[in-house]
A and B are shown apart, each in its own frame.
Chain A
Amino acid sequence: MIRVLVQPAAIDVTAEFDLHDAGGHGASASFIGRVRGDDGLTELFLEHHPAMTEAGLAALAHAAADRWKLSALTLIHRVGAMAPGDTIVLVLASSAHRAEALAACEFLIDRLKTDVMLWKRESFADGRVAWVEEREGDQRRAERWG
């Protein structure tokens, strides 16, 4: 089962774990990315492409399912305005054994950062607003997967 969502609503992590786990899996790996309140950040805004962001996530999910033997995969990205502590992204990957679940989970979050049409804008308490710059380390991590 592959579940891919792009949504402005808060990600209900507990409900998504339950849905993903229905039926049970030998091994499940998860990644949760949250908004950090560093440097007085008050809002993180995620801009997206109305069609292509979800298509990009779906393409990555199918690439993972082709590469590893997975029994379930959940990939959810929130868009719009978020506050510190909010969940930005949830990745759940399950397989019969740990190696495939862990690898698929890491692949998905690494490649998502460089391949999917999403842009972060930060607003701070002092009024500063800035678009987040790409990180060289993210590019290197993504390229490891070929």
Chain B
Amino acid sequence: MEIIIIVIIVFWIIGKFADSSESNYSYDNSSTSYPSNPTLSIRKSQDEREGRWYVVKLRGFFPFKVDGSYNFVYSLLDTTDGDDNAHPAFTFVPQLQEDDNMAFQFVNEGVYIPAYGGWEDYTQAFQIPVDLLSLAKKGKRRLTLILRIYPQYVNTFDINFGFGGESAIFHLTKDFTFDYQNPGYEEISENKENIVKYSIELAISMANIDGNYDNQEKEIIKEWITQNSKTFNEDLKEWQHDSELIEIFEEAYEHALQEIVNQNLPISEILNNLKQIADTKSKHDAIDLCYKVLAADGNMDREESNLIKFIADELEIQQEELLAMQDQYIISMSITEKSHTEEDINSILGITNEMSRGEKIHKLKEDFSKWNSRLNVVSSQEEKDNAQAMIDLISKELTKLR
């Protein structure tokens, strides 16, 4: 699981920008004798160890008549559909957002520029962490980077979602293309209803795998529908239930129930549809719902386990991530040799026939350490017993292999 704790993000980004703010804004008086207009250059960074970055460089001389310090404010717009139909680019990184929203903004404060001064050679200004952007649509996108310069005393900028900036004393733009591989926020929003519908269909398929759709499973799906029928009320600043959405989802639920009775709920088709429109989080949410349904009876057999693995494979969720999600539910299930077949147990433990003996031993040893450390963390006796049962299962499997 690729997790970046916020503290790391912050150090990482500050580290990236620190160099630029210290050295890149030095200037050369003599350069004023080689006047050129300011221009931006954007190149993909070759170093991809920490994700993909686009390096922004700046050169040229500014038409400022007096020496002074300025705030350099960079915004990003998705202009694929034309400048008149531009969309904001968002980011999850708080340090790279506008004050009141999540639109991308990077500010380099107090840059000293002498009269008619600047940079003769391209000098790095900052880097754009493109993997941490959220764009309107999936695919090859044209992005426009906008540099707006304000006097240093101006620290509230007339920029909203990347638009505006009329009071800036200088503007500069540069286009570049970027292949955005996730579903865009507009697509997700447009498809939210369908994503929820497909997730409900998947959950009902999961519930029905044993041919018995019971009340507990029904409750879980209904509760999930309620949770996913909330919309954010901008005026009240709170999440509220959307009765229209509830109605749509209830209908989808009833329809799926009917289809399953008619044996007309082809799981591959649902998965294919979901895969086309869902972002990673929605895929995780769908699998999480399936696990909730699966765990409702406190049991997990091989068929259920295989189905959820199939779903995860189709949705391109890594096996490692799937097992991490599974663990959250295993802790509330009692899995023992008495209640499960050896095949069920191997499936739950992620042991496959394709694995070599060495790989199986390695995996089981890691799982032993994992569950042993969890014994100290879980609080209820039931969870402790379930964790202990996992330790016993793992060591029994290992005994057979050693």
Say whether A associates with B: no
- Which residue numbers of B lie inside 8 Å of A, CB to CB? none
